[in-house]
Chain A
Amino acid sequence: MPKRNDISSILVIGSGPIVIGQACEFDYSGTQACRALKEEGFKVILVNSNPATIMTDPDLVDVTYIEPLSVAVVEKIIAKERPDALLPTMGGQTALNLAMDLFEAKVLEKYQVELIGASVEAISTAENREKFKAAMTEIGLEVPESGFAHSLAEAIKVGEEIGYPLIIRPSYILGGKGTGIAKNRETFIQLASEGLDASPVNEILVERSIAGWKEYELEVMRDKNDNCVVVCGIENLDPMGVHTGDSITVAPIQTLSDPEYQKMRDAAFRCIRRVGVETGGSNIQFAVNPETGDQLVIEMNPRVSRSSALASKATGFPIAKIAARLAVGYSLDEIINDITKKTPASFEPTIDYVVTKVPRWAFEKLPGTKDLLGTRMQSVGEVMSIGRTFPESLQKAMRALEKGRFGLNCDPAEAALAKFSVDQLLEKVTLATTERIFMLELLLRRGVTPEKVHEVTGIDLWFLDQINLIVEARLFLDEAAEERKIQKDKSSGPLFDGKTWKWLKQLGFSDAQIAWRFGLDEDAVRKDRLVQKVFPTYKTVDTCAAEFQAETPYYYSTFEDEDELRPATKERVIILGSGPNRIGQGIEFDYCCVHAALALKEAGYEAVMVNCNPETVSTDYDTSSRLYFEPITYEDVLSVIEKEKELGAGGLKGVIVTLGGQTPLKLAGLIPEELILGTSAHSIDLAEDRQMWAQLLAELKITQPKGALVRNLQEAEEAVLEIGFPVLVRPSYVLGGRAMEVVYEMADLRRVMAELGEAGSLGIEGGLSAQRPVLIDKFLEDAIEVDVDALRDAGGDVMIGAVLEHVEEAGVHSGDSACATPPPTLSPEVISAIENYTFQIATALSVAGPLNVQYGVKGTDVFVIEANPRASRTLPFVAKATGIAMAKIAARIIVGDSLSSLSQEGLIPKRARILNANYLDPSSPFYKGNDIAKANELKTGRGGETDFVCVKEAVLPFDRFPDVDALLGPEMRSTGEVMGIATNFPLAFYKSQIAAGNIIPNSGCVFLSLSDHDKKQGLEVALVLRGNGFSIAATEGTYEYLEKNGLTPDVLVAKLCVDETTQPRVSLASSDLPNALEMIEQGLIQLVINTPRGRGPHADGQYIRHAAQVNHIPLVTTIAAAKAAAAGLAETSLKGLDIISLQEMYALYESK
């Protein structure tokens, strides 16, 4: 009995913004699920607050809501759409929790919506640790000795019964938030209170720590007929104690014998059956005692997960797509394996390669955090690599990470560890850190035995032995390089014979590693290798280890005998992806690459994707015509280019480097010029090169903030005397504002320059930035920042996608700032000037593709801050806000299509604002330069007044890093974004705050602590809030100002005295007045508005912000956001929140 006929419409809940622990893997899963359900003929309704997702593309499902994921909003959607069923298993923990909340609130019952994929009972059994433990014990599976606690006193009692070390896990949490290991009473009390706090049900599990045990995961699927299969087994390199999201993990399982594996498989099936996941996938984690083989069940997730995305990419088995089909009634044997097209999905994939996943962290962006991995997940992204053996796979992953590494050491960055002695290293590797894997290699290279390393780390000997094979080859390289240096006559001969070359490549060594060791140029090394006829061979990921013919073009490189690529049939375009997610480069760029692939396939090309991020839609084998799961490095990309050239018919048209963020852009100058499609490498350089850029703007008579280029502190000090404080200091060629800072005084300038001077800080992202000087610009204080996303075709026509007005003033990184379109406050004249400048810059840079320009607007003066001739982070948001497929159009322009031909084709709607190539030529009929009368048309950027304002808000990871100050600044720290849509700006902003989880309360006490600079506007905010029934607490200065201006706050709050000598302790002013910290802790404050000036540990507002964060009190740190929030609050209390689907919104646009 296949598909269910008793349901016809299904609501799918997405996972919301990208946060740590919940990244774009849920866009991948959700997109697959939505597509599958559509293919089955269901009406699909989707809600997700994240606009930078493929799943929210309006043509993917029938009805798309980009709305906050709250019970109230989703209830409205359910009331309006009346879906028959709700699929909660595709949107991570967010969707699962929301589904449970909807159930608890009886919304599902009221509207008779059936949960499919997982029942309430199954979800609560899996998610509630007490219930889960009882269920496992009932079926004879062991779980770690443990007990639950709902209060600190209870926790201490439970903890003391079990004995230290103890692990603390809060119930109903995401990605291990609030989890930790305590070795003594003191840390236990701290972690237990944090954990109780982190759990939405104030419950923690206290259990015996099994740190050091081996950790495994099984991805299991079950259908309605009770057929169960294991899709993939995963072994963690890091033993228990490190969150699996922060562990290096390997597929398949390496060190379990078949009886042990089968025992685990049996246990997994018993678990999924007992929990009661009737259809779909689950992830089940196990711990294995390496001394005895004892197995414990750690946890299970009754939904698709980060691991299931990895398992799908690792095996080629599309878990989410199949889970969606199972949820609507199919059984596994009724579904065909996509890859073989012949065999059914009711089998267990087997693989003939090794997959390694390595997380990517962002500690460098979060000063104050320790590089120390534990049971709470901290990584922001990951890479996956495929090799035929583990060493090859591991080294590929290391260079794919884009941390400036060429592999597992044997590169310039290895120098950072050279200073440590063996003893120091042995001490360091006892703790899991991001650098530990490199230390393992160095220890082994220094002659420490694998046994010893195993003893101190608990890492399985098998992995260490394999790393030792890399070490062995490294020692060989060391000797060969020395020998070559001594014997001058040899220095012109070949480096190695073919066999040796192949041996090195099979161990995953990159040409760059070898070039570095021999002091040679990478191209010379590459040539040497090619002379020895050692080329990569591409093999297929086929789910079946070649038993059946694979139909799906999903490839990885290795160095063996046979290449499996089949001849191409059409002209090809290579799209370079964006690599691992990190702060500053996330899902937005993957979105652009996916759209490029789709658009180019539709246009008749073979779209060839190169990427190494397993979480993404771009690495779904369905997305492109051919997928190379490869690191995005010079060598790996060049190899793909060479291979694609050989594939015959149609030839290789070229490579797109401008859609994947900084990753492919860094390669632009290295790829043969004639192959770069769209904007030339020269133009990209021109926009980055300080002097050339300044000269260009001068020629165009476009103003930019005063600035200078400096190479040392002396030059910096001189420059600042000329420019005047405040200044913005930053290195060139960086994305996401790496190491940017606003500096108000000389002492800060000296500190910042010293930090930039450290090789590690600048060099860490590799590439050109290390060789580039530091930029110092006049900081435009109080300016409004504006982003413009435009597209220019080679013929000179320019399309203005949207003008985005930032909510936070200039100085907050654009990626961390909220922004709105159409711009709420800009005058028609300013918008016109911005359009003119954008047109001129696009023309001057000969852009053929996307262009993002950032402006600072002070009054009527418009300054250009920077221009980037590449896809921007805001492109997906612009596409969602306007209904214009910006990224698809960009891709078509890049391959040579014109805006006018794409308009004719229908890809560009008539409402799009296109400036003709002769836009600024007064003699041309297309001249519109001075046409201020058309102001309203200009204002919207869409050619017509609209009824809707869209706001993008950034989502920040501060709740995961309590030691980091929650202040916004020029360095980007956000991990994701949400979008609010409403009929006016305040409402849209308010919605975006709800979606971002910054839920502004509608009553209570607001605590105001404002910098002098912000006090005037603060008064307006205070008036609005009081008008809405808030009581107001304020610190002395703010209190006086408000009082003087006719608004007397209700509470005067004592100023904090920070004792620098006892940091981080705060000593409180001896005063009878209440102090902010106590008030926050006692729950007397519901909203904190704290807007300081400058940064640094001495800013005492830091303690208030920290307290707000820890106590989950909504926190606003800029006066602009405070104003918007207050206005939104007022509007909402008047009108209430309404919902609208994208399809409805676009239809309204279209009808105008």
Chain B
Amino acid sequence: MTLQHDQRQSAHKTFHKTLQRPPALLVLSDGEVFEGYCGGSLLDEGGASQIVTGEIVFNTALSGYLEVATDPSYAGQVVLFTYPHIGNYGVSLDDRESEKPHCRAIVTRALPVRPSNWRSEIDFESYLKDNGVPIITGVDTRRLTRHLAAVGSLNCAIGRASESVLTQAAKQEPGTLLQDFVKDVTTPKRYMYVANSGSSKSKIAALDCGMKQSILKDLAKIGDVIVLPASTTAEEILDLGVKGLFLSNGPGDPEALGHIATTVDALVGKLPIMGICLGHQLLATALGAKTYKMAFGHHGVNHPVKRLSDNQIEITSQNHNYAVAADKLPGVSFTHINLNDNVIEGLAVEKANAISVQYHPEAAPGPHDSKYVFDRFKAMVNN
């Protein structure tokens, strides 16, 4: 049969042959095993011995796989896409959220033969392969998702090795709990991102914990953005003479980032502050809130969030495994909640001129319902 397949491959070179891919396994730290086929860097020369581990999370978006793969917040994680066909419209490099993919691996049901979209520059699998990211395809992704939704997030191992080797690897994977991934994804040096023409010339600082490009583009509508390494101190920030401070999204457990929270704490009340995702958690931590790890997090673009000020519903883009505990804090009002599970999605400190949201108002991927959050920050900065 192998022979027949080979013959046809020469006849139809463009064919994608699932059966010809070497088999691969995905093993969870609780011992559940999922069969699939190799893709991405698992097909590299060294792919046979490659084992990749990480915390596995599922994302329910139907489009936006490139934005997800290149979002630094996914550092340390393996991303499972619940929609079966991933890669259909290829890769347009403009849509990347950072220079390169940050997730450790991609799990999917089916890869396309080739991309089909006028903007595509390269196919998704090649893009990942070129960047050393493995793919396991042909997986019963629904079974895997159901398992994760039932038992909560787990660590996993993917590779062509035996089940026992992979089980061992999955069990040894530390996951994200109390891990600092920000140091790996923050900018090593400060740099200036110049405002869009037409924007006011306010200068703002952005503490880069793994910031998405889309956020930077939205901030540039407010003014010049000085992007700072996450380790920048409060004094250094104050010395910049900026009109506001932005706390970016980023990977991992906020509890492991006490040093950043301390920086933020020192700046609350001194500068208008806006935080997104991890930035929201860091602001909350600085204000004295606790954070906790969720069962399996929010990863998708269809989460209903209620804006408590006027009860409007925003369909939001989300990507977080940790959340801010709902305990009351003096001077802090919770401004948004998730209607699926009542998770805190936003807060405001009126006196200190600080706001933050857990979801992603910059979208990319996802709906544009919440862009107004940037306008609020702009108003705070220009006030």
Contact = CB atoms under 8 A, between A and B. Distances in A.
Interface of A: 225-227, 229, 233, 252-262, 265-266, 290-293, 331-333, 342-344, 346-354, 388-390, 447, 449-450, 460-462, 465-466, 468-469, 472, 475-476, 479-480, 499-500, 503, 539, 544-549, 560-562, 564
Contacts of B160: none
B122 interface: no
Interface string B309-352: 00111010000000000000000000000011000000000000
Contact of B315 (A225, A229, A292, A342): A229
Contact of B60 (A290, A291, A350, A468): A350
A547 B295 CA distance: 11
B149 A262 contact: no
Nearest to B365: A258
Contact of B83 (A252, A255, A332, A447): A252
B300 A562 contact: no
A926 to B, nearest CB: 59
Interface string B39-63: 0000000000000000000101111
A503 B92 CA distance: 31
Interface of B: 1, 4-5, 8, 11-12, 14-19, 34-35, 58, 60-64, 66-67, 82-85, 88-89, 92, 95, 109-110, 112-114, 116-119, 140-143, 145-146, 149, 300-304, 306, 311-313, 315, 339-340, 363-368
A333 B304 contact: yes
Contacts of B112: 462, 465-466
A254 B88 contact: yes
Contact of A549 (B17, B61, B82, B149): B149
Nearest to A460: B116
A262 B302 CA distance: 12
Contacts of B5: 476
Contacts of B61: 258, 350
A347 B4 contact: no
Contacts of B58: 545-547
A293 B63 contact: no
B340 A561 contact: no
13 contacts: A258-B66, A259-B95, A260-B117, A348-B315, A350-B60, A388-B84, A389-B84, A462-B88, A462-B112, A469-B15, A472-B15, A500-B19, A546-B146
Given A292-B118, A546-B82, A261 B17 contact: no
Contact of A503 (B19, B83, B84, B313): B19
A344 B304 contact: yes
B163 to A, nearest CB: 15
B78 to A, nearest CB: 17
A779 to B, nearest CB: 56
A545 B80 CA distance: 12
Contacts of A503: 18-19
B83 A352 contact: yes
B113 A466 contact: yes
Contacts of B364: 258-259
A252 B62 contact: yes
A352 B141 contact: yes
A226 B312 contact: yes
Contact of A333 (B11, B19, B66, B313): B313
Interface SS of B by simple majority: loop
Contacts of A292: 118
Nearest to B300: A350
Contact of A354 (B34, B85, B143): B85
Contact of A257 (B19, B119, B363): B119
Contacts, number: 192
Contact of A560 (B83, B95, B143): B143
Given A352-B141, A476-B5, A548 B149 contact: yes
B84 A347 contact: no
A260 B88 CA distance: 13
A254 B365 contact: no
A344 B302 CA distance: 12
Given A293-B118, A480-B4, 20 more contacts: A255-B89, A258-B64, A259-B95, A262-B368, A333-B306, A333-B313, A347-B339, A348-B315, A349-B302, A351-B83, A354-B85, A450-B14, A465-B14, A468-B15, A503-B19, A546-B145, A546-B149, A547-B58, A548-B340, A560-B143
Contacts of A225: 311-313
A236 to B, nearest CB: 15
B149 A344 contact: no
Given A259-B95, A262-B368, A350 B146 contact: no
B304 A472 contact: no
Given A265-B367, A292-B118, A253 B4 contact: no
B351 to A, nearest CB: 30
A546 B300 contact: no
A331 B14 CA distance: 50
B8 A472 contact: yes
A465 B114 contact: yes
Contacts of B367: 262, 265, 348
B314 to A, nearest CB: 9
A253 B146 CA distance: 23
A225 B310 CA distance: 10
Nearest to B147: A562
A177 to B, nearest CB: 33
A547 B149 contact: yes
Given A258-B64, A389-B110, A468-B113, A350 B82 contact: yes
B83 A256 contact: no
Interface centre among A255, A257, A293, A475 (most CB of B within 10 A): A257
A468 B315 CA distance: 37
A546 B81 CA distance: 12
Given A225-B312, A465-B113, A465-B114, A547 B300 contact: yes
A476 B19 CA distance: 12
B145 A352 contact: yes
A348 B301 CA distance: 8
B82 A545 contact: yes
Contacts of B140: 560-562
Contact of A290 (B12, B82, B118, B313): B118
Contacts of A479: 4
A350 B4 contact: no
A361 to B, nearest CB: 28
A261 B64 CA distance: 10
Nearest to B83: A352
Nearest to B67: A258
A257 B63 contact: yes
Given A253-B62, A293-B119, A343 B339 contact: yes
Contacts of A354: 84-85
Nearest to B8: A475
Nearest to B7: A479
Contact of A254 (B64, B67, B85, B146): B85
B303 A544 contact: no
B85 A546 contact: no
B143 A476 contact: no
Given A352-B82, A389-B85, A500-B1, A255 B117 contact: yes
A350 B149 CA distance: 15
A349 B303 CA distance: 10
Interface centre among A254, A331, A468 (most CB of B within 10 A): A254
Contacts of B63: 253, 256-258, 261
8 closest pairs, A vs B, by CB? A258-B64, A562-B143, A465-B113, A545-B82, A462-B116, A258-B365, A560-B140, A348-B302
Nearest to A340: B340
A921 to B, nearest CB: 61
Contact of A545 (B60, B88, B117, B306): B60
Given A266-B368, A293-B119, A347-B304, A547 B339 contact: no
Contacts of B11: 447
A167 B93 CA distance: 37
A1051 to B, nearest CB: 64
Given A225-B312, A545-B60, A562-B146, A291 B83 contact: no
Contact of B146 (A389, A449, A564): A564
